[in-house]
């Protein structure tokens, strides 16, 4: 498998952190830290930070993403944000199906698919999250869970659609827990995901798909994780909120 055939993407998921003022300060630091990174860098910020993030990142290599989107263009969906709103705001990426959305806000495989299709239709790059619970891994269900999630998320998508898709493997047991999948575990599941995509589409489509690892990636383990042949970057939580840590990860992703 030739990693040069696909893009390495380091995406920071800020989650529910940083006011607009705090975001402006962090972005100033990030521009100096990762503005010339050798990989693609995206910061997925809270909705209230999008305007300042787009303004600050204009003219830099840093792209701005959102953390969710709705699948309808408009309507009576209090608290939701449409893809058209994100596009007009200057967003290029959007996270879909993060485990925290599934766990706390009722996301299902079906709604993840609907959101992903809406994002791609709007010409946004959808970062689709998949991953198993600790109980599922301990019961040897990782492959069945990941297969179900990937297959459902890509339902009714074409090969062309997949040029606007990134899949992020995030084992739920490693998100925000300090526990990290070993490089072997990450490589195994990311490779398995690539195999699913090959079965659904073809080898060329699978080889060109960016697959990230997410789950407590930090400066001390990033090099080993990102060196794996099927790991094409990371979806980063806590480490994306510290410019020095994010810079270390960007350097590891740029090798």
Asked if 231 and 223 count as a contact pair (C-beta separation under 8 A), the reply is: no
Task: Assign residue 162 a region (left: φ > 0; alpha: ψ between -120 and 50; beta: otherwise).
Answer: alpha
Going by C-beta distance under 8 Å and a sequence separation of 6 or more, which residues neighbour residue 113? 152, 153, 154, 155, 156
CA distance 216 to 239: 8
Residue 1 has pLDDT above 60, yes or no: no
CA distance 63 to 67: 13
170 noted as active-site residue: yes
- Can you give the C-alpha Rg of the chain in angstroms? 17
Question: Using N-to-C axis directions, what is the helix angle for 243-253 and 20-34, rounded to 10°?
Answer: 40
pLDDT digits (tens, 9 = 90+) for 229-242: 999 999 999 999 99
Provide the CATH number for the domain around residue 222: 3.20.20.70
98 noted as active-site residue: yes
CA distance 129 to 153: 9
Q: Which residues pair with 169 in a beta bridge?
A: 130, 213
pLDDT digits (tens, 9 = 90+) for 82-107: 999 999 999 999 999 999 999 999 99
- Output DSSP code: residue 254: T
- Band (pLDDT 50/70/90 cuts) for residue 5 is confident
Query: What are the angstrom distances between the C-alpha of 201 and each of 41, 127, 205?
Result: 27, 18, 6
Q: Give the pLDDT score at 3.
A: 76
Q: In the chain, how many domains are there?
A: 1
Going by C-beta distance under 8 Å and a sequence separation of 6 or more, which residues neighbour residue 122? 83, 84, 86, 87
- 249 lies in which domain range? 3-253
The arithmetic mean of pLDDT across residues 54-78, rounded, is 98
Q: Give the pLDDT score at 175.
A: 85
pLDDT digits (tens, 9 = 90+) for 166-186: 999 999 998 888 888 899 999
CA distance 131 to 237: 15
Residue 137 has pLDDT above 70, yes or no: yes
The arithmetic mean of pLDDT across residues 44-54, rounded, is 98
Q: Give the pLDDT score at 2.
A: 67
- Band (pLDDT 50/70/90 cuts) for residue 78 is very high
Residue 4 has pLDDT above 90, yes or no: no
Q: Could you give the percent of the chain with pLDDT greater than 90? A: 94
Query: What are the angstrom distances between the C-alpha of 172 and each of 32, 64, 114, 150, 181?
Result: 32, 24, 22, 15, 10
Residue 64 has pLDDT above 70, yes or no: yes
CA distance 164 to 28: 28
Catalytic residue among 93, 98, 100, 107: 98
Half-sphere exposure for 151 (CA within 13 Å, toward CB): 11
**Cβ neighbours around 77 below 10 Å, total:** 11
Catalytic residue among 107, 136, 170, 251: 170
CA distance 75 to 78: 8
Q: Give the pLDDT score at 45.
A: 98
Q: Could you give the percent of the chain with pLDDT greater than 70? A: 99
Determine the distance from the C-alpha atom of residue 253 to the mean position of all C-alpha atoms in its chain, rounded to a whole number. Answer: 14
pLDDT digits (tens, 9 = 90+) for 176-235: 888 888 999 999 999 999 999 999 999 999 999 999 999 889 999 999 999 999 999 999
N- to C-terminal Cα separation, the chain: 17
Name the average pLDDT for the chain.
96
């Amino acid at each position: 498998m030739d990693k040069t055939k696909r893009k390495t993407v380091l995406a920071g998921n800020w989650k529910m952190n940083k006011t607009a003022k705090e975001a402006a300060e962090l972005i100033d630091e990030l521009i100096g830290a990762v503005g010339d990174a050798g990989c693609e860098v995206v910061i997925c910020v809270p909705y209230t930070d999008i305007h300042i993030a787009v303004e600050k990142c204009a003219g830099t290599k840093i792209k701005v993403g959102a953390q969710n989107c709705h699948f309808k263009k408009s309507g009576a969906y209090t608290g939701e944000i449409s893809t058209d709103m994100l596009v007009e705001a200057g967003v290029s990426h959007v996270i879909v199906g993060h485990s925290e959305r599934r766990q706390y806000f009722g996301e299902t495989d079906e709604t993840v698919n609907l959101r992903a299709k809406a994002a791609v239709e709007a010409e946004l790059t959808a970062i689709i999250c998949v991953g198993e619970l600790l109980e599922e891994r301990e019961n040897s269900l990782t492959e069945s869970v990941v297969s179900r999630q990937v297959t459902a998320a890509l339902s009714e998508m074409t090969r062309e659609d997949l040029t606007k898709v990134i899949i992020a493997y995030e084992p739920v047991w490693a998100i925000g827990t300090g526990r990290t999948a070993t490089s072997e575990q990450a490589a195994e599941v990311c490779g398995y995901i690539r195999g699913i995509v090959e079965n659904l589409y073809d080898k060329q489509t699978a080889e060109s798909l960016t697959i990230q690892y997410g789950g407590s990636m930090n400066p001390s383990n990033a090099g080993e994780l990102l060196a794996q042949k099927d790991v094409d970057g990371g979806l980063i939580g806590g480490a994306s909120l510290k410019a020095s840590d994010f810079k270390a990860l960007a350097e590891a992703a740029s090798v």
